[in-house]
């Protein structure tokens, strides 16, 4: 998550420190070897100034990552709380549905008794009719109980959509962090699990109440929202990759600066050897 972003910032800082230490070592060798090479000194100073600039850039990048991570943690904790409420509401809906199923099973038994009563005697037809009317009343109660369960579940889905909106704000706040992609993937897996429950619940509704075609359309809309959330996560990841490529370019510049300093050092050594040879001839 943001730990990955932090580790990259630390890696960038360690590379800058390594580049600085190499430049200082190169400078000390040049001064000890040939104290009059003012040009070599100016190049070493330029290399040092570049290292300082690279370090300040890494510090700014780290401070932004820390601020962005604190906001993302707060937003994620709110989303988790909202999701837990939605799960509680879903469990209530499941309990209500189980009661409706029990009520419906009683209705089936009442139907069978009415049929048996009618088969025994034609003269008992009026009693069979009364028994059947009671069964119909019992069935209407079961339908009403099931409709309440559907309303309760629709509220739970609305609560989850708020959590999705909260997450989208967090993504907008944390567009430059690679850790945001891992969180988005985790959130997407939770969303897929939650929507799979919704699809299972709606499939039961379709099996129990064949006229609930609108229930299936809601499940399709819910899935399309999840796909939109995933596309946002992909865009966030592409931005993070662009940020990382900039850091790689900064490191390659530092390597080129070091190679120039090494060439400068080799020239100074050659100059020193010539001076020694000249001195020996003079002696």
Residues 21-44 as b or e (16 or more Cβ within 10 Å = b) = ebbeebbebbeeebeebeebbebb
User: Which pLDDT belongs to residue 185?
Assistant: 47
User: Which pLDDT belongs to residue 180?
Assistant: 44
Query: Using CA atoms, how far apart are residues 26 and 264, in angstroms rounded to an integer?
Result: 9
Whole domain around residue 101: which residue ranges?
2-282
Query: Using CA atoms, how far apart are residues 224 and 71, in angstroms rounded to an integer?
Result: 27
- In angstroms, what CA-CA distances link 118 with 110, 114, 140? 12, 6, 22
What is the rounded average pLDDT for all residues in the chain? 57
Q: What is the DSSP string of 108-166?
A: HHHHHHHHHHHHH-STTHHHHHHHHHHHHHHHHHHHHHHHHHHHHHHHHHHHHHHHHHH
The answer to whether the CB of 37 falls within 8 A of the CB of 30 is yes
Instruction: Enter the tokens of residue 5.
Output: 């972003």
The answer, as to whether pTM is greater than 0.75, is no
Query: Which residue positions in the chain have pLDDT lower than 50?
Result: 36-37, 171, 174-178, 180-182, 184-185, 189, 202, 205-217, 219-224, 233, 236-237, 241, 244, 247
User: Which pLDDT belongs to residue 213?
Assistant: 41
User: Which pLDDT belongs to residue 266?
Assistant: 63
**What are the E-state strand segments in the chain?**
none
Residues 94-133 as b or e (16 or more Cβ within 10 Å = b) = eebbeebeebbeebeebbeebeebbeeeeeeeeebeebbe
Residues 159-194: pLDDT tens digits?
Answer: 556 655 655 555 455 444 445 444 544 555 455 555
Given the structure tokens 């809906």, which residue do they identify? 93
User: Which pLDDT belongs to residue 59?
Assistant: 59
The answer to whether the CB of 23 falls within 8 A of the CB of 261 is yes
Query: What is the count of structural domains for the chain?
Result: 1
Query: Using CA atoms, how far apart are residues 41 and 28, in angstroms rounded to an integer?
Result: 9
Listed in sequence order, the residues at least 6 apart from 162 whose beta carbon sits closer than 8 Å to its beta carbon are 82
C-alpha closest to that of 100 among 143, 71, 67, 135: 143
């Amino acid at each position: 998550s943001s730990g990955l972003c932090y580790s990259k910032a630390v890696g960038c800082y360690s590379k800058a420190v390594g580049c600085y230490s190499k430049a200082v070592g190169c400078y000390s060798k040049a001064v000890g070897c040939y104290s009059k090479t003012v040009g070599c000194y100016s190049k070493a100073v330029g290399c040092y100034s570049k290292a300082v600039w690279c370090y300040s850039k890494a510090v700014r990048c780290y401070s932004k990552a820390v601020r962005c991570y604190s906001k993302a943690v707060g937003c994620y904790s709110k989303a988790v709380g909202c999701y837990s409420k939605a799960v509680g509401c879903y469990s209530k809906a499941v309990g209500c549905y189980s009661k409706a199923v029990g009520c419906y099973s009683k209705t089936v038994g009442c139907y069978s008794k009415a049929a048996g009563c009618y088969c025994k005697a034609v003269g008992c037809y009026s009693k069979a009719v009364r028994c059947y009317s009671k069964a119909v009343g019992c069935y209407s109660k079961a339908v009403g109980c099931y409709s309440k369960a559907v309303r309760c579940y629709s509220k739970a889905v609305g609560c989850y959509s708020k959590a999705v909106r909260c997450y989208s704000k967090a993504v907008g706040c944390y567009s430059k962090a690679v850790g945001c992609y891992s969180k988005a993937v985790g959130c997407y897996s939770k969303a897929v699990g939650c929507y799979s429950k919704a699809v299972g619940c709606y499939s039961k509704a379709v099996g129990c109440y064949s006229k609930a075609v609108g229930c299936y359309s809601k499940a399709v809309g819910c899935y399309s929202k999840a796909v939109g959330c995933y596309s946002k996560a992909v865009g966030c990841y592409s931005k993070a990759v662009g940020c990382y490529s900039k850091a790689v370019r900064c490191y390659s510049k530092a390597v080129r600066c070091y190679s120039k300093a090494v060439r400068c050092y080799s020239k100074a050594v050659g100059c020193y050897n010539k001076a020694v040879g000249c001195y020996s001839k003079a002696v």
